[in-house]
Amino acid sequence: MKRRRAMIAALIAMTAGSVVAAEIGPEELASIVKGRKWQVGVGGNLSDPLIQAYWDFNSNGSICVRFPGGKPDDRCADEGAWKLDGPTVCWELKRIGEQYGYKSACVQVEKLNAQDFQMHNVKGFRQFAFRLAK
């Protein structure tokens, strides 16, 4: 249980960066969400596979969230539903993330470079960095 809490805390850890990000519109957002798998970087770190989590945004509106350190097709740590609302993607998970602010969230996505993105909770703080998984 202690390890699980540490992993969840690490999953939502935020880092301050000096990277300039570009906002994306609703059409591009839809193209990187619907039916896609995200490789989420814990604390913004997208280079260490031991602290990567994989999230599936299934075309049917369901979401599968895995714990960091797992493989892209591991069993879901939690499931729920997602939807697009203009320039934001919102989700509602069943079990995890409430105390860390990501069980139910709406985020706006910004492009960092050709392959990397970051999402901000609509309240403005950086939630996660991610890239589309292969």
All domains in the chain, ordered by first residue? 2-132 (2.40.128)
Q: What is the pLDDT of residue 20?
A: 64
pLDDT digits (tens, 9 = 90+) for 15-58: 334 456 788 999 999 999 999 999 998 778 888 888 899 999 99
Higher pLDDT, 70 or 61: 61
Query: How far apart (Å, rounded) are the C-alpha atoms in residues 76 and 55?
Result: 9
Rounded mean pLDDT, 107-117? 92
Query: How far apart (Å, rounded) are the C-alpha atoms in residues 94 and 49?
Result: 26
**Which residues, 6 or more positions from 61, have their beta carbon under 8 angstroms from its beta carbon?**
81, 82, 83
